[in-house]
């Protein structure tokens, strides 16, 4: 019997070292996280709508939603119903 196990993406290794392409939602999340960390996206700033981010990154809407969930789990953004995704303060 085959049992699928979920192996986390090795965040400490480069793509060249792992020999595989990054998961798309992690590519989007990493880029947005870098902009938050650098201050390009300041605390309280509203992120563009998810549909716009999907078009900008050339990914599916669901991929952006998964990236937003990743950012929420790490405390970088908060989602306010009717307002969108907002960068959290430190």
Provide the 8-state DSSP code for 9.
P
pLDDT in tens, 46-69: 999 999 999 999 999 999 999 999
Supply the pLDDT for residue 90. Answer: 63
* Cα 9 to Cα 26: distance, rounded to the nearest angstrom: 9
Supply the pLDDT for residue 14. Answer: 53
Pick from 43, 44, 14: which is nearest to 26 by CA?
14
CB-CB contact of 85 with 79 (8 Å): yes
How many structural domains does the chain have? 1
| pLDDT < 50 regions, the chain | 1-13
* Domain span holding position 46: 22-87
Supply the pLDDT for residue 89. Answer: 75
pTM: 0.74
| Residue 75's CATH number | 1.10.10.10
| Domain membership flag for residue 16 | no
């Amino acid at each position: 019997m085959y049992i699928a196990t979920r192996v986390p993406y090795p965040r400490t290794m480069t793509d060249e070292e792992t020999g595989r392409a990054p998961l798309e939602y992690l590519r989007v999340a990493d880029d947005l996280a870098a902009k938050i960390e650098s201050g390009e996206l300041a605390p309280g700033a509203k992120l563009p709508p998810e549909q716009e981010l999907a078009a900008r990154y050339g990914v599916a809407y669901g991929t952006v939603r998964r990236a937003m969930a990743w950012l929420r789990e790490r405390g970088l953004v908060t989602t306010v119903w009717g307002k969108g995704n907002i960068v959290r303060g430190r």
